A and B are shown apart, each in its own frame.
Chain A
Amino acid sequence: MDSSSSSQPDFDYLFKLLLIGDSAVGKSSLLLSFTSDTFEDLSPTIGVDFKVKMVTVGGKKLKLAIWDTAGQERFRTLTSSYYRGAQGVIMVYDVTRRETFTNLSDVWAKELDLYLTNQDCIKMLVGNKVDKESERVVTKKEGIDFAREYGCLFLECSAKTRVNVEQCFEELVLKILDTPSLLAEGSKGVQRNIFKQKPPESDASTSGCC
């Protein structure tokens, strides 16, 4: 079922990315659009979901482990436990619903401060659903201003038309590659992964418990 886990660790870095934001802003759709080039109506995420995508950026082969969290506040005690160890966070809002944008500063930015373990973690603001231009209520300028204030990257995209979807992840990853402390974490991930994929006989003698 899972071919990626059994294949050789032919990547240079492993990065953990996290998608957060209000319910129904399109986090899962954005992820699906990025990982499998498709768009469809998705059920609300229960708990968390998780996808892996291999990409090549700047000549480096990267394994991206992307966590997709449930948006509803009620699940936050659960989802907050997934922030640990993330190198990049994508904060998503819906350009056609203002409250999803205001909640980013009211709720989500605070969450990040509280739970992120690496303060260098790269944050990216993404305004989704630009395909519904006629229904837009949050302007691009507002997004840029927010991004400037909170020191994050910014893009507008559409998971549906796939406009700027690749770019969201690419820009985020480029910035991570530019940050030494995150790079170090990313290669630790690779180390760990290589170790994990060694033939099992090497650790057979140590794992006598079962």
Chain B
Amino acid sequence: MTWIPYKRSWDGIDSTGHNVNAGLLEKDRNLYTIRAVPLTDVHSIHRHAPPLGWQYVIVVLSSGLAHPPLYFYNGGVREFLATIKQHVSLLRSRDDANVFLVNDLQDPLQKSLSSLELPRAVPGSNGTALHSSISSSFSNETPGRLNDATVDGKSTTTEYNGKQKQKFNDPARDISIQVLEKFSLVTKFARETTSQLFRESHHDSSNSYERMQWMNSGSINMASIEPTIKQKVPDENPATLDSLQVDKLSLVWGKARQSPLNYVEWATFLDSEGRVKDSEALRKRIFYGGVENNLRKEVWRILLGYHAYDSTYAEREYLASVKKSEYDVIKSQWQSISPSQAKRFTKFRERRGLIEKDVVRTDRSFTYYDGDDNQNVTLLHDILLTYSFYNFDLGYCQGMSDLLSPILFVMENESEAFWSFVALMERLGPNFNRDQNGMHSQLFALSKLVELLDSPLHNYLKQADCLNYFFCFRWILIQFKREFEYEQVMYLWEVFWTHYLSEHFHLYVCVAILKRYSRKIIGEQMDFDTLLKFINELSGHIDLDGIIRDAEALCVCAGENGEACIPPGTPPSLPIEAESMYLPQDDDL
């Protein structure tokens, strides 16, 4: 939708522009221009038909931001709404017959936003205070110009300085105040939602608003915009939104990534005996920058929970030696199976065969595992087979070699790699359950998160019968191992393992990627086959840093609503009852 004032006559109402007779000064024209707003961006349209004076409408965006009133000097509000209705669903608000909700809001977050709608008539008494709560350019320019209007193209040339506050009853000014108040409420809402997560970073209220704004604009950018509208949108329109500095406000992502944690900094997190002093601070630090490769060995064991955060150097060393013997005992169990015994032990042979087949095709192009007779490939095999004896119920499943590979590469030690892998599998084991319940609960949670954070995509997938999210199966099963370069995978995993913003940050990463391509998916009407192919072929083409930042912003924006989408016990959360973690896999390997 585009609105260009200052035209002498109606050009007719069409999907691209709604022109109105107005003779405004150039500055005013800029203010009143609405530049190419996707209809998906529009939250509602408020119709005002005062008994005296011109009809006008106010367009309120999903972000809570509203445009200055659009006046209809020759009527046409009805036609305007009818035109809009041809392109989007227009729903009359139950609370106010003059409010038309543009996009049917199904997700709870947007509902919360829409519930922030104020009653219409807001007295201007506290306007000044409200003005101070947002950016100055907005507050200075917003007061409307009822008297600037023209009739039949002739300017009445009543000019006034926008910075002066008009005392008489100026509907436009009332509206601006109303908008501002709503603005501050949105800010408040966002702040409340995210207060816990943004304790340190929020020095002013605009920060949380920015995040809210980003999320909304994200969903809009990705949303399906009818091509006919998009193509006709003129590019050269003066940018009112720019003048309101919305660009600055709107495109805020998650925080910039930092450099990886190095030895010097790592030392500052430890006390003299090697305990992590502030695990929260450490996890936060790693969340934002990862860990230098040579430090991973030490840090991963703690992140994975193999070593406790409050363990000392000595305790860690001791545990490692105890665990080494324990590993050797378990390993000797399968090593001691003689060939004639194996001949009569089909399950063992099959399990071993599967592992043998898989380790020789796991990351063989990566230097650590390349070449013939590579010892590290043998280690992968031994660790996996030992794990299948350690956890006989779960056994071996394809995908496990993908998860072990970076761990062995980092640990460079069989026993340490094994126990780190065990710690990881405490959380990801249910991914490999025979009944696939771990996967299904994550895919379900993902569908709920997309419903919350990208309702156009959700609606599309629902209509296309793709809500099982099987196309994200690989992403989740092996934690994006196949989607990124080796080094990137290690970095992403340590971000996941911090559980800093959420235990289920990987699901927000899924949402962030889907959101990036949401417009393409919807626009090209991908069916399940096409979508699966598309997602599989994204491998190697995803901008990791950008996605992590998106995911962070989404996670923060979703807040408690997001966590509520994820059923308790969903991996990688530890199971609710430790005993029931691995159900016997009946006749499986």
Q: Does A187 contact B (CB under 8 A)?
A: no
**Which residues of chain A from 79 to 123 have any CB-CB distance to chain B below 8 Å in the complex?**
81, 99
For B, the interface residue count at a CB cutoff of 8 angstroms equals: 57
Query: Is A205 on the interface with B (CB-CB < 8 A)?
Result: yes
Which residue of chain B has the shortest Cβ distance to A48 in the bound complex? B532
Q: Chain B 422-440, CB within 8 Å of chain A: the 1/0 string?
A: 0000000000101110010
Q: Could you give, for residues 516-538 of chain B, a 1 whenever the CB lies within 8 Å of some chain A CB and a 0 otherwise? A: 00000011110101101110110
Interface size range on A against B: 35 or more
A residues in contact with B255, CB < 8 Å: none
Residues of B within 8 A of A (CB): 40, 86-89, 103-104, 223-224, 226-228, 350, 354, 357-358, 360-364, 397-399, 401-402, 432, 434-436, 439, 456, 459-460, 463, 468, 470, 473-474, 477-478, 482, 522-525, 527, 529-530, 532-534, 536-537, 541, 588-589
Are A196 and B536 within 8 A (Cβ)? no
Contact of A72 among B104, B397, B460, B537 (CB under 8 A): B397
Q: 6 tightest CB-CB pairs across the interface, nearest first?
A: A24-B357, A47-B473, A210-B456, A46-B474, A50-B533, A72-B398
Judge whether A2 and B534 touch: CB under 8 Å: yes
Known: A1-B541, A49-B536, A209-B104; 6 extra A-B contacts, CB below 8 A, are A23-B354, A44-B357, A47-B474, A74-B398, A78-B439, A204-B227
Residue in B40, B435, B524 whose beta carbon sits within 8 Å of that of A210 in the complex: B40
In the bound assembly, the distance between CA atoms of A32 and B357 in angstroms comes to 19
Assembled-state Cα–Cα distance A45/B473 (Å): 11
Q: Within the complex, which residue of B227, B402, B588 is in contact with A74, where a contact is CB–CB below 8 Å?
A: B588
Residue A147 lies at the interface, judged by CB distance under 8 Å to chain B: no
Distance of B39 from chain A, by nearest CB (Å)? 9
Contacts A46-B478, A46-B482, A209-B89 given: A78-B470 contact, CB under 8 Å?
Answer: yes
Complex Cα spacing A48 to B364, Å? 21
Q: Which residue in chain B gives the minimum CB-CB distance to A71?
A: B398
Q: Which of A24, A42, A201 has the most CB of B within 10 A?
A: A24
Asked whether, in the complex, the Cβ of A210 is within 8 Å of the Cβ of B224, the reply is yes
B361 touches A196 (CB 8 A): no
B171 shortest CB reach to chain A, Å: 32
> Which of A16, A46, A78, A204 is within 8 Å of B436, CB to CB?
A78
Min CB distance A158 to B, Å, is 17
Query: A45 to chain B: which residues have CB within 8 Å?
Result: 398
Question: When chains A and B are docked, how far (Å) is the Cα of A73 from the Cα of B88?
Answer: 47
Residue of A43, A75, A81, A208 with most chain B CB atoms under a 10 A cut-off: A43
Query: Which B residues are in CB contact (< 8 Å) with A78?
Result: 436, 439, 470, 473
In the complex, the chain A residue whose C-beta lies closest to that of B90 is A208
21 contacts between A and B (CB under 8 A): A1-B534, A5-B524, A23-B354, A24-B358, A44-B398, A47-B470, A47-B473, A48-B473, A48-B532, A50-B533, A50-B536, A72-B398, A74-B434, A77-B436, A81-B470, A201-B227, A204-B226, A204-B227, A205-B86, A210-B40, A210-B103
Which A159-210 residues have a C-beta within 8 angstroms of B?
A: 196, 200-201, 204-205, 207-210
- Which residues of chain A come closer than 8 Å to B434, judged between CB atoms? 74
With A5-B524, A43-B361, A46-B473 known as contacts, the answer to whether A73 contacts B588 (CB < 8 A) is yes
The smallest C-beta distance from B225 to any residue of chain A, in angstroms, reads: 9
Which of B103, B364, B459, B477 has a CB less than 8 Å from the CB of A46? B477
> A residues within 8 A CB of B357?
23-24, 44
**CA gap between A61 and B401 in the complex, in Å:** 41
Interface contact A210-B533, CB-CB below 8 Å: no
Judged by a CB distance under 8 angstroms, whether A65 is at the interface is yes
Structural contact, B473 and A196, CB atoms closer than 8 A: no
Q: Does A138 contact B (CB under 8 A)?
A: no
Distance in angstroms from A9 CB to nearest chain B CB is: 13
- The CA of A96 and the CA of B86, in the complex, are separated in Å by 64
Q: Is the CB of B361 within 8 A of A42?
A: yes
Interchain CA distance A50-B226 in the complex, whole Å? 29
Residues of chain A lying within 8 A (CB to CB) of residue B541? 1
Please give me the residue from chain A that is nearest to B103 by CB atom: A210
Which residues does chain A contribute within 8 Å of B223, judged by CB atoms? 210
A41 within 8 A of B: yes
Complex-state Cα separation, A46 to B435, whole angstroms: 16
Cα-based distance from A196 to B524 in the complex (angstroms):
8
For B534, list chain A residues within 8 Å (CB): 1-2
Distance between B221 CB and nearest chain A CB, rounded to angstroms: 13
Task: Report chain B residues within 8 Å CB of A42.
Answer: 361
Q: Is A52 located at the chain interface by the 8 A CB criterion?
A: yes
Known: A1-B537, A196-B527, A210-B40. A41 touches B364 (CB 8 A): yes
CB nearest to A40 among chain B residues: B365
> Are B361 and A41 interface neighbours, CB within 8 A?
yes
A201→B473 CA distance, assembly (Å) = 33
Question: Are A23 and B529 closer than 8 Å at their CB atoms?
Answer: no
A205 partner residues in chain B, CB cutoff 8 A: 86
Q: What separation, in Å, do the CA atoms of A71 and B357 have in the docked complex? A: 12
Q: CB-nearest residue of chain B relative to A52?
A: B533
**In this complex, what residue of B is CB-closest to A1?**
B537
Residue of A with least CB distance to B358: A44
- List A3-56 residues whose CB lies under 8 Å from chain B: 5-6, 16, 23-24, 41-52
A70 in contact (CB, < 8 A): yes
Query: Smallest distance from the beta carbon of A82 to chain B beta carbons, Å?
Result: 9
What is the minimal beta-carbon distance from A102 to any residue of chain B, in angstroms? 12
Instruction: Name B472's closest neighbour in chain A (CB-CB).
Output: A47
